[in-house]
């Protein structure tokens, strides 16, 4: 499998605090990666460096393009939703924001309308199109930024604690849309504090204090449960239950699927 | 403090649709009350009426002897009793140091200097931040730390009612568990009335005593967490996720015809499973 993001010897300090010291990491293409870790572990900083928003030492390549030398191109390739959606919409209306992005891609009016309609229907946001960002609720703002990020059809979609603002219905719609993008070849990077969401994707990466502690498929990741515990990471309900049941001798491995676990307990 | 919403209606300026549509409800004192519902259902608007940040066009809110309604302009005493932790910490942080941020409200309510310092340090300690944070700029902190500062700001002036709007978004496990402990302590030891707005049903299920479901500007159902979370049709109708522990209990009943007890703690569930699987 090939890597879509390559990070070589990355070092970065914020004010007097060293965030990364010679970090090396390769993120695989066309996978759904969940990034977890405590507040302040460097997750959001890493996103801003991948986008070229801050200068750093070392090298970050996105699809083999050097980020600091091709910032404009990188921002076309990556769609991102940050955890403070307030600062991400610049137009007075959600509708204008979407049109602006599509116009910048040089599309015709009919193409613009078609692409807009697709994203609006997929996210169910017709109601908020003509509203000002300041009149939107927290979850609605998040959907507006998601629409603006996804409408340009980026190769890489990065969500920085963005799904947490959504209710169950909306979240499921967004996950469905992201899974379709994944099937079509996109790479998804979901940074989250909701550990249950790590079971949606393919791989999990645990960061702590600017270092990558574990990066594995979700099936293998939770086998390192002793190590995970050291980093104060919550376990998904089903994993936690499997591990506890192992002590009682009722299971002998970690389950990620609830029905499989129930069938194992009551064989 | 007991909170009663009496047939309130509210429309945002410029909007042609009511956000709150003739809503009546009763939140219980010395309890953890949760308000859940879809994005845009009016949750944040509703809680902002409790301390008079939003005044209903029609109807009133009664908080013990306080009233929030049209015609009343001064809510200073009410706000001393009702503290609010906003959804995005940026919405409430505006001082340049953590010390000034937490001390701001204390100055407003004329606390003595020595009292003020004690309250600031106690509040910081409660959210798990040390003295070194006092001189830091709150906006330079990580999202989780900002939220802790926002919570400390409210704890510092010791209100009787504390409202948390989506309190756990962006918090890591340790911080979240710490916050859960703080909220339980506030209720059990300090007899506060707590109101939580959250999408995190596992949190609401674990923590709250009493739940209101808000949909399209109205409270459509309220009851104990048992009443709410065991009603599958209700949860389905209002698109509320089933807490994981209940999803498991339901699956066991459906697939194995075994009825486990209703639990809100995984260790209690474990004992049930062990008893039934032997």
**Across the interface, do B244 and A265 touch by the CB < 8 Å criterion?**
no
Question: And the tokens for A178?
Answer: 């992201």
Residues 134-153 of A with CB under 8 A from B: 135, 137-140, 143
For residues B165 and A10, give the distance between their C-alpha atoms in angstroms, rounded to a whole number. 37
B275 close to B267: Cβ distance less than 8 angstroms: no
CB nearest B142 (choices: A39, A164, A167): A39
Q: What is the pLDDT of residues A115-151, one digit of tens each?
A: 999 999 999 899 888 888 888 887 888 899 999 999 9
Q: What's the rounded mean pLDDT across residues A143-162? A: 92
pLDDT tens, position by position, B50-88: 999 999 999 999 999 999 999 999 999 999 999 999 887
pTM of the model: 0.85
Range of lowest pLDDT (A162-166, A178-182, B153-157): A162-166
**What does the pLDDT read at residue B214?**
96
For the segment A33-43, what is each residue's pLDDT rounded down to a tens digit?
Answer: 999 998 888 99
Contacts 24+ apart (CB under 8 A), A39-42: A39/B142, A39/B143, A39/B144, A39/B145, A39/B170, A39/B171, A39/B172, A39/B175, A40/B142, A40/B144, A40/B145, A41/A207, A41/A208, A41/A209, A41/A210, A42/A207, A42/A209, A42/A210
Q: What is the ipTM of this complex?
A: 0.85
Q: Which helix (H) or strand (E) holds B19?
A: none
Q: Per the CB < 8 Å rule, is B44 touching A39? A: no
pLDDT tens-digit map of B20-36:
999 999 999 999 999 99
Whether the CB-CB separation of B198 and B166 falls below 8 Å is answered with yes
As a dihedral over the C-alpha atoms of residue B243, residue B248, residue B249, residue B252, rounded to 10 degrees, the angle is 160
Q: What is the DSSP letter of B70?
A: T
Strand order in the sheet with B3-10: B20-27, B3-10, B58-63, B66-68
What domains are defined for chain A? 3-235 (3.40.50.300), 236-267 (no CATH)
Interchain pair A244, B199: CB under 8 A: no
What is the CB neighbour count within 10 angstroms for residue B98? 27
pLDDT of residue A225: 85
Per cent of chain B over pLDDT 70 is 100
Residue with tokens 């949190």: B203
pLDDT at position A167: 86
- Greater confidence (B278 vs A105) lies with A105
Mean pLDDT over B198-213 rounds to 92
Q: Within 13 Å of residue A163, how many CA atoms lie on the same side as its CB?
A: 26
**A259–B87 CB contact, under 8 Å:** no
Q: Which residue has the tokens 């309130």?
A: B8
What's the pLDDT at A235? 92
Question: pLDDT at position B255, please?
Answer: 94
User: Could you say which DSSP state residue B28 is in?
Assistant: P
């Amino acid at each position: 499998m090939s890597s879509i993001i390559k990070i070589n010897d990355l070092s970065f300090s914020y004010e007097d605090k060293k965030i990364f010291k010679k970090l090396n990491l390769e993120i695989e293409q066309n996978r759904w990666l969940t990034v977890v870790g405590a507040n302040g572990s460097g997750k959001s900083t890493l996103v801003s460096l991948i986008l070229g928003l801050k200068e750093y030492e070392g090298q970050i390549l996105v699809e083999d393009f050097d980020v600091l030398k091709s910032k404009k191109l990188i921002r076309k390739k990556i769609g991102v939703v940050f955890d403070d959606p307030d600062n991400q919409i610049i137009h007075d209306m959600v509708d204008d924001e979407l049109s602006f992005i599509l116009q910048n891609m040089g599309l015709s009016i009919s193409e613009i309308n078609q692409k807009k309609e697709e994203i609006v229907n997929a996210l169910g946001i017709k109601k908020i199109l003509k509203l000002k960002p300041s009149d939107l609720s927290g979850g609605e703002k998040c959907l507006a930024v998601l629409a603006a990020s996804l409408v340009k059809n980026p190769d890489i979609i990065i969500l920085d604690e963005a799904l947490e603002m959504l209710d169950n219905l909306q979240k499921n719609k967004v996950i469905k849309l992201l899974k379709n993008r994944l099937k079509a070849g996109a790479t998804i990077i979901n940074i989250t504090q909701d550990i249950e969401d790590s079971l949606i994707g393919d791989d999990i990466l645990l960061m702590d204090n600017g270092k990558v502690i574990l990066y594995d498929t979700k099936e293998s990741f939770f086998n390192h449960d002793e190590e995970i515990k050291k980093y104060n990471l919550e376990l998904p309900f089903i994993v936690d239950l499997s591990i506890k049941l192992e002590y009682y001798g009722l299971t002998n491995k970690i389950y990620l699927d609830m029905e499989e676990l129930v069938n194992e307990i009551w064989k | 403090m007991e909170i009663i919403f009496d047939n309130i209606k509210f429309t945002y300026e410029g909007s042609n649709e009511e956000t709150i549509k003739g809503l009546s409800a009763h939140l219980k004192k010395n309890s953890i009350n949760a308000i859940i519902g879809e994005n845009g259902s009016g949750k944040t608007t509703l809680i902002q009426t409790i301390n008079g940040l939003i005044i209903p066009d029609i109807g009133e809110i009664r908080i013990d002897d306080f009233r929030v309604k049209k015609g009343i302009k001064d809510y200073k005493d009410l706000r001393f009793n009702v503290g609010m932790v906003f959804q995005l910490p940026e919405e409430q942080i505006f001082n340049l140091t953590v010390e000034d941020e937490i001390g701001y409200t204390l100055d407003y309510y004329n606390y003595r200097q020595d009292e003020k310092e004690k309250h600031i340090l106690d509040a910081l300690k409660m959210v798990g931040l040390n003295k070194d944070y006092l001189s830091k700029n709150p906006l330079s902190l990580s999202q989780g730390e900002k939220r802790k500062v926002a919570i400390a700001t409210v704890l510092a002036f010791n209100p009787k009612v504390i409202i948390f709007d989506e309190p756990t978004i962006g918090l890591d496990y340790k911080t979240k568990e710490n916050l859960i402990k703080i909220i339980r302590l506030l209720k059990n030891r300090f007899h506060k009335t707590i109101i939580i707005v959250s999408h995190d049903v596992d949190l609401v299920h674990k923590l709250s005593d009493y739940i209101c479901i808000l949909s399209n500007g109205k409270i459509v159902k309220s009851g104990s967490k048992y009443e709410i979370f065991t009603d599958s049709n209700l949860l389905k109708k209002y698109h509320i996720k089933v807490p994981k522990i209940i999803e498991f209990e339901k699956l066991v009943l459906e697939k194995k015809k075994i009825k486990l007890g209703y639990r809100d703690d995984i260790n209690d569930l474990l004992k049930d499973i062990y008893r039934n699987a032997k």
